[in-house]
Amino acid sequence: MSRASEIYPRARVSLREVGLRDGLQLVKAFPSTAGKAEWIKRAHGAGVRHFEVGSFLPASRMPQFADLRELIGVIAGLEGARSAALALNERGADDAMASGVDEVVCVVSATEEHSQANMRRSRAAAIDLVRSTAEKAAGAPKRPLVMAAISMAFGCSIAGPVDPAEVVRLSEACLEAGADIVGIADTVGFCGPKQVEELCEDIGKLCGDTPYSVHLHDTRGMGIANAAAALNAGARILDGSIGGLGGCPFAPGATGNVVFEDLVYLCETMGFATGIDLEALFPVREILKTEMPDEPLYGALARAGLPATVTYRH
């Protein structure tokens, strides 16, 4: 059994809360470190186990992630909780190893155009970073999992359509470079469930017993439908953010990540136990509201509440 399979067993669904990373990517006012810690602790209390909490970048560039190491420390103190953070260059990978983070995420753009425009490097250079990060991880005292996330995997905001075969090829290259796990991301919320199902099936064949993750945005309202399609196709790791925090750099005012609470509900209705107590999770939204009063929060479920007369668990 691969290391990734031990951490993300295929027999259950694992939901990664990425609000503290992707959700904060575009916000103007950042939550306090104490607020973030409370967010993590309360969500952990509700059963959330996977937290993506920032990027290893200079605080001058991404001040919202200046307290990343403190949050990794908070998570390390919580039973069964795991931290994840992005490493976008060699320095970031070194910092990740020193931080004790549980999972390092390297990003590879699905298209050469996006890779150059967004990261000022080729996709080959991005895969080289996966390789060197995996080597660093293998030699690190606390060996973190290395995830290679393919951004724009379902369509690119610059290059347009993306050939699924190209995403499979890039994913394979990342696995060969030593990634423990690959992720596919609909970074700008372009796709529908049929496309998700097809690519997940292809990625599932590539990965075999090793799990893969799916990162979806609700930019065009397809987030939950796409998550259902991913689950139907065999995906067992899904990302979301509490309150759907986070927007889209290419569509000002648009909704962001899939709403975590709704994602929990979806999984449970489909018979996938998440280990998460929704009644305990809802109050975490209040922390976000207090810390970022100007950010819109989404989620139909939090407005409506759980059904009063039926159980939503299948």
By C-beta, is 58 or 271 nearer to a copy of itself?
Answer: 271
Binding map of a copy of itself across residues 266-285, x = CB under 8 A, - = no contact: x-xxxx--------------
Least separation in angstroms between CB 251 and a copy of itself: 4
206 part of the interface to a copy of itself, by CB under 8 A: no
109 part of the interface to a copy of itself, by CB under 8 A: no
Stretch that binds a copy of itself, among 46-54, 133-141, 174-182, 193-201 (CB under 8 A): 193-201
Stretch that binds a copy of itself, among 24-32, 120-128, 169-177, 248-256 (CB under 8 A): 248-256
Nearest to 63 by CA among 35, 99, 27: 27
309 part of the interface to a copy of itself, by CB under 8 A: yes
Q: Which two tokens stand for residue 258?
A: 């899939």
249 part of the interface to a copy of itself, by CB under 8 A: no
Pair type for strands 145-151 and 50-55: unpaired
Nearest to 104 by CA among 72, 81, 73, 60: 72
305 part of the interface to a copy of itself, by CB under 8 A: yes
Q: Which two tokens stand for residue 251?
A: 């569509």
**Catalytic residue numbers?**
248
DSSP 74-132: HHHTSTT-EEEEE--SHHHHHHHHHHT-SEEEEEEESSHHHIIIIISS-HHHHHHHHHH
Stretch that binds a copy of itself, among 11-19, 67-75, 130-138, 220-228 (CB under 8 A): 220-228
